[in-house]
Amino acid sequence: MDSHVPLTRCGALAAWAAFLPEVGVYACRRSYVGQPPHGGVSRLSAALRHRLLTEDEVISDTLRTYDFHAAGKWLQEVCWRRYWKGWLEMRPDVWTSWRRRVHELSVTLPADVMRRAWAVASGASGVACMDAIARELNSTGYLHNHARMWWASFWIHAEGLPWELGADWFFRQLLDADPASNTLSWRWVAGLQTVGKPYLVRLCNLEKYAGAALLADRRGSGRIADGAVQAAPVEEFAVTARGPLPGFATAFTPTGRRIGLWLHADDLLPERGPLENLKPVAIAGFSSTRSYQHFYKLGVQRINALHTVLGDGAARAGQHFQVPAHVGHDDDPVTGLMLWAGANSLDEVVAFAPTVGPVRDMVPRLQRHLVAANVRLTLIRRASDTHAFGLSSAGFFPFWKKMSRHLETPAASSGA
Ligand SMILES: Cc1cc2nc3c(=O)[nH]c(=O)nc-3n(C[C@H](O)[C@H](O)[C@H](O)COP(=O)(O)OP(=O)(O)OC[C@H]3O[C@@H](n4cnc5c(N)ncnc54)[C@H](O)[C@@H]3O)c2cc1C
């Protein structure tokens, strides 16, 4: 089954141009889960997650086409990703603790629970509509938001399985897998994010919003009948107290050194924004099948998607900066990066600051190696991210109140 999820900038721009005329009816169509490819939603999440297309571009195009209020729901949804990212930037232990729990559970859970988790993940729970959702995820790497909510709730509250392992399954399979949106949405469904308010799946909600095909087979649906699903107990393992937002420069000051541009999956649009005038002598990105499999057990289609988006970013960057762009598939990306830095006699490696997640986790080790080789690492964050992340300290609605005020200014429609 084709996911209809664009994984190149060119594909993302075309998909966005096709969806922009639909934005005016997004609010009334977005909750309906039809048949793939799900017409009421954009399917731009993988492109936005990897920044083949930026939120700033989407927001400014939207505001040039629509009045703020006519596109309010769409703009709000687009801003959720940055809100979740900003929230996690200030609470990195939520990510670290989730990864630790995934490991602990996978070695300590009884074999029968692991077997059940595998059956549910592979679409053999016995509840036909939930199994259809699992099969769609596993074959396309994409799910509609409402289907994600239903299935996550089924996993946690109907099956009584640990949310951490469900989130891990999504992280391995989704083409848009995003450390912040995924972890925090699963926590929200579990009742950890908005404490004491879990999301409970109900058959009547599927009857209202799911297409007929999803409910054609009613086997097992009594398990999600209205009132049948009760909140499962969940335990908080993470430190959720807010820390400071890590500081990064939002502009690059030229130093006259030999600079290499490091591309990674958190932002693949260096030709737009604070790095666009950089004068690198070399460009490289690293996409390691072995480390994706070893550390995260990613599925094949997710790994292929990561190779595709990085290849696309590198090709565009090579063209824009007019220098060779290398895509490394080294088993260890840090080793690959060090070899590249040495081969190009770099004095400085410049990159977008990775957000909390796998790339950020690599930075301390990379930094140590670079310092030992006398190479400076400079990480730059887009000013619009710094602004949005700074507003994400508490709940979404205070964030949105401040963000919407900003979006109503002329600067937002100019993309500034
Ligand atoms: C349990 C669960 C896990 C999720 N895991 C991920 C994930 O790993 N990666 C991911 O990108 N999204 C995740 N989401 C959020 C959301 O489901 C997807 O972003 C959305 O379904 C993507 O489809 P779309 O691009 O067609 O969305 P559209 O409805 O077209 O929305 C446009 C854009 O707005 C943003 N957006 C919309 N809804 C949300 C949301 N609830 N949270 C954050 N951003 C949103 C996305 O960037 C999306 O591309 C998860 C949601 C749940 C409930």
Give all strands (DSSP E) within 19-107, no chain letters.
none
pLDDT in tens, 245-262: 999 999 999 888 999 999
Share of the chain above pLDDT 70, in %: 99
Q: And the tokens for 7?
A: 């994984």
What distance in angstroms lies between residue 188's CA and the mean position of ligand 1's atoms? Answer: 13
- The percentage of the chain sitting over the pLDDT mark of 90, rounded to a whole number, equals 94
Is residue 200 within 8 Å of residue 230, measured between CB atoms? yes
Average pLDDT in the 233-253 region?
96
pLDDT at position 256, please? Answer: 84
Q: Which of 324, 285, 341 is nearest to 308 (CA)?
A: 285
Question: Of all protein residues, whose CA lies closest to atom 38 belonging to ligand 1?
Answer: 77
Identify whether the C-beta of residue 172 lies closer than 8 Å to the C-beta of residue 302. Answer: yes
What pLDDT does 216 receive? 95
Give bridge partners of residue 348 from the DSSP assignment: 259, 376
DSSP annotation of 12:
H
Decide if pLDDT at 1 tops 70.
Answer: no
Structure-model confidence comparison of residues 36 and 70, the more confident one:
70
Predicted confidence at residue 413, as pLDDT, reads 74
Distance in angstroms between the alpha carbons of the first and the last residue of the chain:
39
Reply yes or no on whether the pLDDT at 298 is more than 70: yes
Non-local (6+) Cβ contacts of 104 within 8 A are: none
Backbone angles phi, psi at 286, to 5 degrees: -130, 130
Whether the CA torsion 70, 73, 79, 81 is positive or negative: it is negative
Whether residue 172 has its Cβ less than 6 Å from ligand 1: no
Q: Name residue 178's amino acid.
A: D
Looking at residue 40, what is its pLDDT?
93
Residue 142: which of 307, 5, 301, 305 has the closest Cα?
5
Q: Is the pLDDT of residue 67 over 80?
A: yes
Rounded Cα distance, 305 and 6, in Å: 10
Residue 414 pLDDT greater than 80, yes or no: no
Q: Is the pLDDT of residue 106 over 70?
A: yes
**Looking at the predicted structure, is the pLDDT value of residue 412 above 80?**
no
Probe target for ligand 1 pocket from 74, 78, 137, 145, with the most ligand atoms within 8 Å of CB: 145
Length of the chain equals: 416
416 pLDDT above the threshold of 60: no
Average pLDDT over residues 386-410: 94
Q: Is the CB of 237 under 6 A from ligand 1?
A: no
Q: Would you place residue 345 in the very low, low, confident or very high pLDDT band (cuts 50, 70, 90)? A: very high
- Going along the chain from its start, the domains and CATH numbers come out as 9-90+387-413 (no CATH), 93-224 (1.10.579.10), 259-380 (3.40.50.620)
The answer to whether the CB of 50 is under 6 A from ligand 1 is: no
| Residue 188 and residue 199 in contact, taking contact as beta carbons nearer than 8 Å | yes
Q: Is the CB of 291 under 6 A from ligand 1?
A: no
Of all protein residues, whose CA lies closest to atom 4 belonging to ligand 1?
182
pLDDT bracket for residue 194 (50, 70, 90): very high
- The label of the residue with tokens 């089924």 reads 154
Over residues 22-40, mean pLDDT: 91
Mutate to test the pocket of ligand 1, among 5, 23, 45, 169 (most ligand atoms within 8 A of CB): 45
Flag whether pLDDT at 321 surpasses 60. yes
Is this prediction's pTM over 0.95? yes
Closest C-alpha among 87, 54, 85, 58 to residue 74: 58
The tens digit of pLDDT for each residue in 210-227 reads 989 999 999 999 999 999
Interval 375-395 mean pLDDT: 97
Ligand 1 centre to CA of 180 (Å) is 11
Residue 282, CA distances (Å) to 21, 130, 216, 261, 327 in order: 40, 48, 55, 6, 11
Cα 42 to ligand 1 centroid, rounded to whole Å:
10
Q: Average pLDDT of 337-360?
A: 98
